[in-house]
Structure 1
Amino acid sequence: MKKQITFLLLVLFIGHSYAQKVNTEDSLTIRNLYDMALLNGKSYDWLDHLSNEIGGRLSGSLEAQQAVEYTEAELKQLGLDKVWLQPVMVPKWTRGTKEYAYIETAPGVSTTTNICALGGSVATPALGLKAEVIEVQGLDDLKNYGREQIEGKIVFYNRPMQANLINTFEAYGGCVDQRYAGAAEAAKYGAVGVIVRSMNLRQDDLPHAGSMSYGDIPADQRIPACAISTNGANYLSSALGIKPDLKFYFKQNCKTFDDVKSYNVIGEITGSEHPDKYIVVGGHLDSWDLGDGSHDDGAGCVQSMEVLRLFKKINYKPKHSIRVVLFMNEENGLRGGRKYAEQAKLKNEQHIFALESDAGGFTPRGFSFDTDEANFAQIESWKPLFEPYLIHSFTRGGSGADIGPLKDENIVLAGLRPDSQRYFVHHHAANDTFDAINKRELELGGATMASLVYLIDKYGTKTATSDVKN
């Protein structure tokens, strides 16, 4: 009996010692990653160039192509095993000359207001469009008005983001459908145009762009759609309360061209043990054109590049092949994400994990995971390794738009989750610029992503039948 107890204690001691060794080893590696990112980081300089030397990178634009060439060259300088461009056809939409709008409360009495065309919208007539306005609180409310009340008018969608939701992405998701499908739905009732309240929790004069769709509406029946600033939306709503028959005038000069060729930019460190199993980390290289796309999503791109740079710097040799993918055309088509997944399937590539950063370059708070209970339990066991860096939030939920097409039963998808309270102040607006980036916050995000990728690479993921540890 004593021998059995002694043996059991010995086994427990060895197991405990091994666990301590693993934990210490992981802690030291993660500390090294953070030290390297904060003391010798590269992400801030990369983003400086993308933002200030290239600028807004709308799909199909010259700036988008310049960003492809720049990031390809920078990845090659890192000494990765492979760097290549993956062709993808993307939509080409241009804004044209600056939009103009005013609210007319009486003949000759008007107040100018700030708008921007929504991405994919048609232009107004050459001389602009003027009509009466009907205010609605989102798509569901639109159904309460018949054609007799809407026909010949401009529909004003004024449903705000819900300010008491702590998760601002939840608030965004609650009203963004009016931006995306608002014109298509309003056109069915005979509306001649659409105004959408900007997706912004702050009261300011900046209109926020974003994509919209006409669905299957014929080209000759499409109506122009614009976003109005939150201050402008509040003023228009108040004015309508006093004078319901006021008129709104706007002029926009946007145009859609034929699709053009662009590229996903891909770099790889080939796995030392299992080169045919892939881990992906990425962001989207395109942005809207009003600002320079620093938060959305230049930050995610340079953080993803930084993950591979950090591994090279600390001389970490991953077991699995790790790829950085800078996706093209997330903003108005998701063509890059779909193309990457399509090619991966054609080549029978086995992807075990994908991590996306597309929520801004603010202080990282944690991750959300699209995965099963077994994988989430393993990931949660690593949470103590992140707590010294104040990374506390590990939740199950969404991951990222570009990695979504990779989803199958055997892959774990994840999204970096920075503090979201300031994100929608800048999202798709003219103030999404480099001066809104905090260098330290950006670098913390890159190190946080590298730490999670390191742990996934070391311990593997779980499938329905077995662990993918190799």
Structure 2
Amino acid sequence: MKKTITLLLILVVHYVQAQYTDSVTIRKIYDEALSNGKSYEWLRHLTKKIGPRLSGSAGAQKAVDWTKQLMEQQGFDRVYLQDVMVPHWVRGAKEEAYILNGKKKTVVPIAALGGSVATPPKGIGAGVIEVKSFAELRAMSPDKVKGKIVFFNRPMDPTKINTFEAYAGAVEQRANGATEAARLGAVGAIIRSMTNVHDDYPHVGGMRYATGVPLIPTAAISTNGADLLSKTLAENPNATFFFKQNCETLPDAKSYNVVGEIRGSEKPDEIIVVGGHLDSWDLAEGAHDDGAGCVQSIEVLRILKALGIKPKRTIRAVMFMNEENGLKGGIQYADVAKKNNEKHIAAVESDNGGFTPRGFGIVGTPEQRAKVIPWKPLLAPYGLHEIGPGSGGADIGPLAQLGTVLFGFKPDSQRYFDYHHTMVDTFETVSQRELELGGASMAALVYLLDKNGL
């Protein structure tokens, strides 16, 4: 009995000592990020000196070259490029659109969705069918839709506290609206922007066509424009809409994932990835989506190195290419990892903006999640209370097939869709302190993952 009690006391003492050591190290991580952080100035360069970075563009290549050079300058053990072929869609000349109500012509802001075809050179003018759901559209007679422009006007649900849930409930219109409309003979599709903010900025994003369905042009319309179009149609169902866009899809282009790593001292064959996606939409500087995630990921490695923390496992920062319109970078990274028999024990992605940290979503088995839950008291003092089942990230998602546990960094979600996929996703909208807190939060998680494993 005495031996059992003694053993229990020893275990308790060891646990308390370990908790104390971890709490001290995590405090140092935050102190380093908040006192000497580099991510904000890195983000300034990425957004202001390079700017938009759509896959296949000159901006994307400049971002590849710069992030590779940046990680080399940080003295990481290895920095390299990973080849990947990516889609190359270009917008062309600025879009035009207006509502014609009798003799009154009102210009409204639109932007072609990524992957869309162009309109005919002279544009498209037609009557409009407004719907709020695919079910509503499918219930209509093809004769009613044929030759018309379908206007998908379901807003994001404003009652959802987590705005990503609201986005998920509306984004199918953007992704598949053109296909649904074309099946009934429509000549075009206009999609209400994915935001609850009432503004004049079209929120773009990717769309896709189903096989065997006519390819019709599709564009996002600003929320103010959508409200005006809906009001006009209610007053005059015979009002028409005109739009012209000049986009095209070019042959796939060669690009790269950019990878930097600190080699593990004890278990170098076990890998922990932290990353974000380097590409952004062509209208945006891509500050929150996802310049923030990229610079935070590089900052994780910089912090560990600055503090003299020698990880047991290999820590990799990966700048994924082509998340926005193809996910080719994430797929290629996982394919190479599988081919090389690499063991990725965990992957952390930041792709929800550079806002105040709230926690991490975990994709893994109940047993794997249970190993993370005891870390909550260590992370709670830094505002990381939302730690539990959730989503990981699009780029790291393909790693799940290798048994990798995925962690999605969760900042506060309330403002993300104010800027998402628009020209106002700029450096000026990012708070330096919030950005640095996010990098520190990711570094703290990576430290615990490296020390304890899963």
TM-score class, shorter-chain normalisation, is over 0.9
TM-score (norm 1): 0.95
Equivalent in the alignment of 2:119: 124
TM-score by length of 2: 0.99
1:317 pairs with 2:303: no
Write out aligned runs for 1:23-172 (5 A).
23-106=19-102, 108-172=103-167
Q: Which residue of 1 aligns with 2:285?
A: 292
> Which of 188, 193, 218 is the aligned partner of 2:188?
193
Which residue is 1:361 aligned to?
A: 354
Q: Distance in 2 between matches of 1:146 and 1:25?
A: 68
Partner of 2:16: 20
The whole-number CA distance in structure 2 between the counterparts of 1:104 and 1:408 is 51
Kept in 1: contact 2:338–2:402 (CA 8 A): no
Q: String of CA shifts for 1:90-116, please: whole Å, max 9, x gaps.
A: 01111111111110001x311111110
Greater shift after overlay, 84-93 or 134-143? 134-143
Deviation at 1:409, TM superposition (A): 6.6
Match of 1:435 among 419, 428, 431: 428
One-letter code aligned to 1:254: C
* Deviations 1:229-274 (CA, angstroms, capped at 9, x unpaired): 1111111111111101100011111111000100000011111111
Select the residue among 256, 277, 282 that pairs with 2:275: 282
Letter in 1 for 2:406: L
Give the secondary-structure state (helix, strand or coil) at the position aligned to 2:220: strand
Q: Runs ≥4 in structure 1, deviation > 3 angstroms?
A: none
AA of the residue aligned to 1:223: I
Q: Is the 8 A contact 1:276 1:320 kept in 2?
A: yes
What is the letter of the counterpart of residue 29 of structure 2?
A: L
CA distance in 1, matches of 2:410, 2:391: 10
Deviation of the 1:215 alpha carbon: 2.1
Deviations 1:298-356 (A, max 9, x none): 00000000011111001111111111110000000000000000111111111110010
- The equivalent position to 1:307 in structure 2, one of 278, 300, 303, is 300
Report the Cα distance in structure 2 between the residues aligned to 1:303 and 1:190, rounded to whole angstroms. Answer: 47
Q: Percent identity?
A: 56
Q: Is contact 1:100–1:250 with CA below 8 Å preserved after alignment? A: yes
Counterpart pick for 2:392 among 394, 399, 415? 399
Residue by residue, what CA displacement relative to the aligned partner does 1:346-404 show, whole Å, maximum 9, x if unpaired?
Answer: 11111110010000000010000001111111111100111111111012021100000
CA distance in 2, matches of 1:369, 1:279: 14
The answer to whether 1:329 aligns with 2:322 is yes
| Alignment counterpart, residue 416 of structure 2, candidates 395, 402, 423 | 423
Alignment gaps of 5+ in structure 2:
none
Report the Cα distance in structure 1 between the residues aligned to 2:426 and 2:363, rounded to whole angstroms: 30
Which of 437, 440, 445 matches 1:444?
Answer: 437
Q: Which residue of 2 aligns with 1:464?
A: none
Quick one: which amino acid aligns to residue 453 of structure 2? Answer: G
**Conserved? CA contact 2:150–2:188, under 8 Å:** yes
Q: CA deviation at 1:8?
A: 3.7
Give the CA deviation at 1:459.
0.5
For these two proteins, the number of residue pairs brought into alignment is: 454
Once the two structures are superposed, residues 113-151 of structure 1 have per-residue CA deviations (whole angstroms, 9 ceiling, x without a partner) of 111000011111111110000001122221111211110
CA distance in 1, matches of 2:25, 2:133: 49
Q: Which residue of 2 aligns with 1:272?
A: 265
C-alpha distance in structure 2 between counterparts of 1:256 and 1:184, whole Å: 17
Contact 2:276 / 2:318 at 8 angstroms: preserved in 1? yes
SS of corresponding position for 2:144: helix
In 2, distance between residues paired with 1:43 and 1:390? 20
Gaps in structure 1 of 5+ consecutive residues = 462-470
2:276, 2:294 within 8 Å by CA — same for their partners in 1? Answer: yes
> How much has 1:277 moved relative to structure 2?
1.2
Three-state SS of the structure 2 residue aligned to 1:87 is strand
Structure 1 residues 376-415: aligned runs within 5 Å: 376-408=369-401, 410-415=403-408
Deviation at 1:11, TM superposition (A): 2.4
Between the aligned partners of 1:445 and 1:140, the Cα distance in structure 2 is 41
Partner of 1:372: 365
Within 1, Cα distance between the matches of 2:434 and 2:65?
26
**Matched-pair contact (CA < 8 Å) for 1:329–1:336:** yes
Matched, 1:181 2:176: yes
Match of 1:205 in 2: 200
CA RMSD of aligned residues (A): 1.0
Whether the 8 Å contact between 1:285 and 1:329 is mirrored in structure 2 is yes
C-alpha contact (below 8 Å) 1:87/1:261 kept by paired residues: yes
CA apart distance, 1:408: 3.1
SS in structure 2 at match of 1:421: coil
State the alpha-carbon separation in 1 of the partners of residues 137 and 335 from structure 2: 38
